Structure 1
Amino acid sequence: MTTLLHIDSSTQGADSVTRALTAHAVERLADGATTVERLDLVADPIPHLLGRPEDNRWVRQFMAADTIVIGAPTYNFTVPTQLKAWFDRIALAGTTFRYGDNGPEGLVGDKRVIVAIASGGNYEDGSAFEHNKSYVQAFFQFLGVEPRIVAARGVALSPTAKAEAIAAARAEIDQLAAALEPVRA
């Protein structure tokens, strides 16, 4: 049996684009032999880090998962503080990364990480205001994982722009799910 960890960090509830996209991804990726664990960082917030992180349930849950699907809405150009608190917990020296003679080395290895990003504005890669995708990508690469990122940009521009961005992101998730091996033991 395999495990899929579904993480949400949007405060928008039922109106959340990232919650809708991650639910779609989980539906497409999980099969009858997959255990799906859900972590809602808004309903069950993680205390912000004080001092050095320790071995904790979030690290164990992350390391045990084969696939991680994360909703990362863009709040003030970057990830919500709830998701940042989770990142702070799972970046654990000696467990998920280490420092060696050639700098940091990711220890996480073979995990599938799929991140659904949504932004009200249209902050393309390279924009001075785009700090969500670049941060998420750098964070997981630091841990030794190449995340797959699906972005729905410009969802606050108009109802048409929102519908088009969501449809394009769902289509990208469908293509990604079709290209990936099924999540099975």
Structure 2
Amino acid sequence: MTNTVLRIDASARHDGSESRALTQRILDRLQPERVIHRDLAKAIPTIDGDWLAANWTPEDQRTEAQRETLALSDTLIDEIKAADTLVIGSPIYNFGIPATLKAWVDQIARAGITFKYTEAGPQGLLAGKRAIVAITSGGTQVGSEIDFASGYLRHVLGFVGITDVQFVAADQLMVDADASHAKANAALEALAA
């Protein structure tokens, strides 16, 4: 049994969202003791010059305004650290991830906190966690040459140290919804709780 899950919903839709429904089915399968929910439909601000300046200022030298600028980022990182498993629900929008999910990535990818630079290259600092990505699309086949979402998510999660990444895909829903749901159901049944 998974103790704590961080559920991240990236769909702009609430009603009728395939990725939200699939994410809920994954949670039902895992039966975690605790769920932390981050709904990215409630926009995550994009990073800007003030954020970058605050991030690159040593912690003990930050102003109160800089600490406030990084407060959401700190909270988002704390949510990941508190979780054993991340369950990320992401539709594919225009061949990639939603902008709000990219904004979340930018907020949590912080040198010295979620990864560090070494002589051998970057090293993730969030090792020992599992991620399950519920990914949906209308026409893009997950894993195809036009899917810029799944590879990116696998890479960025690995970049911060989360290398145990599984996908439950309901892709090409506009092409053949029945086949898409059947494939997602099979992947869901194969998930270890």
What SS class does the counterpart of residue 36 from structure 1 fall into? strand
1:145 and 2:173 are equivalent in the alignment: no
Counterpart in 1 of 2:28? 27
Counterpart in 1 of 2:124? 106
Counterpart in 2 of 1:183? none
* Contact 1:21–1:170 (CA under 8 A) maintained in structure 2: no
What is the letter of the counterpart of residue 10 of structure 2? S
Q: Describe the shift of the 1:73–1:124 C-alpha distance in structure 2 as closer, same or farther (beyond 3 A).
A: closer
Q: In 1, Cα distance between the equivalents of 2:140 and 2:113?
A: 36
Q: In 2, Cα distance between the equivalents of 1:121 and 1:21?
A: 17
Counterpart in 2 of 1:134? 151
Q: Which moved more, 1:65-74 or 1:45-54?
A: 45-54
Measured against aligned partners, the alpha-carbon deviations of 1:101-152 in whole angstroms (never above 9, x if no partner) come to 011111111111100111111434241x110011001111111112111211
* Contact 2:96–2:149 (CA under 8 A) maintained in structure 1: yes
Counterpart in 1 of 2:40? 41
TM-score, normalised to structure 2, is 0.83
* Paired residues, number: 171
What is the letter of the counterpart of residue 142 of structure 1? F
What is the letter of the counterpart of residue 85 of structure 2? T
TM-score, normalised to structure 1, is 0.86
Unaligned runs of 5+ in 2: 56-69
Superposed, 1:1-185 pairs within 5 Å as 2-31=3-32, 34-42=33-41, 44-50=42-48, 51-52=51-52, 53=55, 54=70, 56-127=74-145, 129-146=146-163, 147-157=165-175, 161-176=176-191, 179-180=192-193
* Contact 1:95–1:107 (CA under 8 A) maintained in structure 2: yes
Measured against aligned partners, the alpha-carbon deviations of 1:129-176 in whole angstroms (never above 9, x if no partner) come to 11001100111111111211121111112xxx1132123212212211
* Contact 1:4–1:30 (CA under 8 A) maintained in structure 2: no
What SS class does the counterpart of residue 11 from structure 1 fall into? coil
Q: In 2, Cα distance between the equivalents of 1:162 and 1:16?
A: 14
What SS class does the counterpart of residue 63 from structure 1 fall into? helix
Q: In 2, Cα distance between the equivalents of 1:79 and 1:105?
A: 24
Q: In 2, Cα distance between the equivalents of 1:124 and 1:23?
A: 20
When Rg is computed on C-alpha atoms for both structures, the one with the higher figure is: 2
RMSD (Å), alpha carbons: 1.6
What SS class does the counterpart of residue 84 from structure 1 fall into? helix
Unaligned runs of 5+ in 1: 181-185
Amino-acid identity (%): 38
* Contact 2:142–2:169 (CA under 8 A) maintained in structure 1: no
Q: Where in structure 1 do 4 or more consecutive aligned residues deviate above 6 Å?
A: none
